[in-house]
Structure 1
């Protein structure tokens, strides 16, 4: 029997649909442990129903939560051998950190709280982020899980990249995520706070993908009793399947391949290479570094210390690196006059990188006007979740005038959800 620790959180950030009911954590637990049921001729069951679960509520966005979490983790780790704790799932490691400012993950309060678990050989699985607007990617010590769109099909040739997937280099210059798993239409028993006629709920995002990988890890550790975290991580990353033509280096997990490789002893059990810590000694000098990560960390440092002029931020909105541009645009916060507002609209129209587009849209949502509907509504087909969320929020400001947009996490449903809105605009414009 395998025990493992799971702790949950609730995010107030605008790129998540998580309400105060705590259904995010409940969906995670159900995805791992729910009883079997049949839906449309297919049987669904929790991926690791035989495991034991410890739920530590992680109020990651409360001041002082880091110390409380550290105390809780240390108490639980004292029971590691007795309870056979092998895995931790974290879906909110970033805690109070701003998700676009780039800084060392070692400074993060959740990372510090989980350090004792890492030292004890526990496998920490975490979600990698749900949208390209994010810069702050997980520590190298964690098995970071991103997602792809499996379209509800087992046929791996039908799987496609998720168009707004978060991936890239973190502040320690490690590529994240490590692996990919399905992140669309993860079916669980109905558990949502708002009552509906539905009999099932759907868990979305990289939190769901990380939950699936956690269940796979629990299964493999149960099958191979002496399997350690390093070997398991190597098996999942080395024996996964790349998506052809995709510049995201992380492979889709392939449980059959990984299991066979472990059985045959094919895993080279070498610790993951850790790059030297990024040292920023002269912040102003590093703003002009040839390395994107150094410029991003330097700009983040100046922004957090309120040492960036608005002219300097505008200058870095022209940077060739999307990581740097996201920091600059988010730090501008919103247009301060009519000229800037038009500049933001122009930049949004010209920008191709999804995460940067998300920050321009969020800035324009501030002080949005009713007469901007013809500019907002066409954005309802944007591939970036944050852009579409901003459209939805804009329309909700004027419910008596505009039809509303039903947001969706399913890339294949974006056009159908936006179609009535586009038709309304076309009819209105004659």
Structure 2
């Protein structure tokens, strides 16, 4: 946030007070599927941070040097400075040391936990086998007490638009043994409505909302274009929502420059916060298991006002009060009755659009549909089907189709479908279309604005540039000079 430090993330999650640095998450192991680079801000973790890599021959290596490298005063990040930043911010959001700004204490959500970062070579052939090898190896280790897996890219290299059953995804197959052992898989639900696929019901799936950086829950609003709906099995996703913007961590943009804070975001950030809450609760209430924890958090969450998405937003304070009340009632031998995972499922509605979406996707994978048939499906009442059809159409094949794309983009209401129309138009676009593109610079859909920015960048010497932003309040500000330029041309 520009010139304004948001409230600490723990307060925005509903914690009544900051997590205790020495105790929150203590003795709980968290696997983070990601890469990480060294940085001085993680030196305090010492032996509680492990970096696991899986080789192409499925051999597993445990790298203890990541913290030692972080302690080097000469570390500068080098050419690969951006590599591993996502994982670094994830670890920091969970574990960073307390710091104070404007009288407010910022601290990681579960700083006393064990963190095992697993790099399995994602987005390369054989990623599923390597992921399974790495997770199974970690679960076999003594003393790490793995209770949580944080998976922010659950779909791996799979197509985001074409539907299929959850059990067919390589990541789901790789993590199946962990789920059977009762490990809680916390998963992000995606950042835009461009995709159709959503995580399986076995994963505690996290979406985002816009809390405007404040703990004042009356100020929280929906995030534009937030994905939600039914996965290929017919289950509603996500389970719960968490803040997705302006998540503060210690400054980590470089190892040598000093700053106040860096920011983490997207539903990767939202899922990270929920993983931290889970570690906090597992350590505070050892009787909890994954099923009970999900039930407690969802049952004590509250809805975002005026949001189509029925998933509620996290409220840690309310969940803790419920658990404490139960403990006082039931005494030291308290144990919530186990609930079958079926009870966690929002009703499985075998809706025609899901069945049709899976079958339609199969036809496309097998290249069994003509372009005329794809166009016919682009007018389907279901946005899932329309999204698949427009994605499959790709780019306009001629001037007539290009006119159709522009017309349909202006009429379409669903964010993901609109994003695919814009992306198709971005292909083969020319500078004469600038007057079509610029009005979309203030579109509420991030994917559409991204396409506008990419289009203008193609002609950076001729046209003003649009800075990308995922912050709703900044959309008009970033586009103002472009709109002024357009008015002068007309």
> Normalising to structure 1: TM-score of the pair?
0.91
Q: Give 5+ residue unaligned stretches, structure 2.
A: 1-26, 37-80, 328-335
The equivalent residue for 2:109 is 47
Preserved contact between residue 469 and residue 475 of structure 2 (Cα < 8 Å)? yes
Q: Distance in 2 between matches of 1:413 and 1:24?
A: 23
The equivalent residue for 2:367 is 306
Q: Distance in 2 between matches of 1:296 and 1:38?
A: 50
* 1:93 aligned onto 2:144: no
* 1:146 aligned onto 2:146: no
Deviation at residue 269 of structure 1 after TM alignment: 3.6
Q: Distance in 1 between matches of 2:109 and 2:484?
A: 42
Structure number with bigger Rg: 2
The equivalent residue for 2:341 is 272
Preserved contact between residue 236 and residue 346 of structure 2 (Cα < 8 Å)? no
| Map 1:107-118 → 2, pairs under 5 A | 107-118=168-179
> Secondary structure at the residue paired with 1:265?
helix
Q: Distance in 2 between matches of 1:402 and 1:297?
A: 42
Deviations 1:195-253 (A, max 9, x none): 98854221111000000001000101110012100000000111100123322110001
The equivalent residue for 2:87 is 25
Give the stretch that moved more between structures: 26-35 or 124-133: 26-35
Deviation at residue 61 of structure 1 after TM alignment: 1.0
Deviation at residue 123 of structure 1 after TM alignment: 0.4
Preserved contact between residue 385 and residue 409 of structure 1 (Cα < 8 Å)? yes
Distance 1:208 1:416, change over 3 A: same
Preserved contact between residue 60 and residue 92 of structure 1 (Cα < 8 Å)? no
User: Could you list the runs of 4 or more consecutive aligned residues of structure 1 that deviate by over 6 angstroms after TM superposition?
Assistant: 193-197, 275-279
Q: Distance in 2 between matches of 1:271 and 1:216?
A: 22
Preserved contact between residue 9 and residue 92 of structure 1 (Cα < 8 Å)? no
Determine which of 108, 123, 126 is the counterpart of 1:61: 123
Deviation at residue 134 of structure 1 after TM alignment: 1.3
Q: Distance in 2 between matches of 1:177 and 1:277?
A: 14
> Secondary structure at the residue paired with 1:160?
coil
The equivalent residue for 1:428 is 489
Distance 1:387 1:139, change over 3 A: same
Q: How many residues align?
A: 411
Give the stretch that moved more between structures: 192-201 or 146-155: 192-201
Deviations 1:177-209 (A, max 9, x none): 000000011111222379988542211110000
Q: Distance in 1 between matches of 2:301 and 2:473?
A: 25
Q: Distance in 2 between matches of 1:61 and 1:321?
A: 30
Distance 1:209 1:394, change over 3 A: same
The equivalent residue for 1:391 is 452
Preserved contact between residue 222 and residue 306 of structure 2 (Cα < 8 Å)? no
The equivalent residue for 1:200 is 261
The equivalent residue for 1:16 is none
Deviations 1:115-137 (A, max 9, x none): 01000000000000000111110
Deviation at residue 151 of structure 1 after TM alignment: 0.3
| Map 1:251-330 → 2, pairs under 5 A | 251-265=312-326, 269-273=338-342, 291-330=352-391
Q: Distance in 2 between matches of 1:203 and 1:173?
A: 31
Distance 1:307 1:9, change over 3 A: farther
The equivalent residue for 2:295 is 234
Deviation at residue 265 of structure 1 after TM alignment: 3.1
Q: Distance in 2 between matches of 1:212 and 1:275?
A: 23
Distance 1:398 1:198, change over 3 A: farther
Deviation at residue 37 of structure 1 after TM alignment: 2.0
Give the stretch that moved more between structures: 416-425 or 204-213: 416-425
Deviations 1:361-380 (A, max 9, x none): 01111111111111111111
Deviation at residue 262 of structure 1 after TM alignment: 2.1
* 1:248 aligned onto 2:309: yes
Deviations 1:64-100 (A, max 9, x none): 1111111111111112x63211001000110111001
> Secondary structure at the residue paired with 2:341?
coil
* 1:72 aligned onto 2:141: no
Q: Distance in 1 between matches of 2:179 and 2:165?
A: 17
